[in-house]
Amino acid sequence: MRQVQALYSLAEIIERAGISLNEVYQELADILPKSWQYPEITSARIVIGESEFQTKNFIETEWRQSATVKVNGSKAGRIDIDYVEQKSNQDEGRS
């Protein structure tokens, strides 16, 4: 359900009149942690070219997931999602 809500939030951002692309990226970075299993310990960063957009709590950790952003088949940047602290394997499961 969290993932669906994040998609709805993104759609609302994109539909907003007068919003800049940089504002879209920053708001997306702020929304992404809410779609993860442990949003309270999740941080996000979007890197597009030389620009970075990140949550206020962003730190690089060993508990990272990263994806390449491609535009027309070429790498344009990446999205990093980091847990700011480790969660026990016992906590893993469906949410």
Q: Which domains can be identified in the chain, with CATH numbers?
A: 2-85 (3.30.450.40)
Residue 6 has pLDDT above 90, yes or no: no
Question: Do residues 4 and 11 touch, judged by C-beta distance below 8 A?
Answer: no
Question: Do residues 42 and 30 touch, judged by C-beta distance below 8 A?
Answer: no
Q: What is the mean pLDDT of residues 23-33?
A: 93
What would the pLDDT profile of 32-87 be if each residue is shown by its tens digit?
998 888 899 999 999 999 999 999 999 988 889 999 999 899 999 999 999 988 87
DSSP, collapsed to helix, strand or coil, labels residue 59 as: coil
Count of Cβ atoms closer than 10 Å to residue 55 Cβ: 20
Residue 5 pLDDT class (50, 70, 90 cuts): confident
What would the pLDDT profile of 10-21 be if each residue is shown by its tens digit?
778 878 888 898
Structure pTM?
A: 0.78
DSSP, collapsed to helix, strand or coil, labels residue 68 as: strand
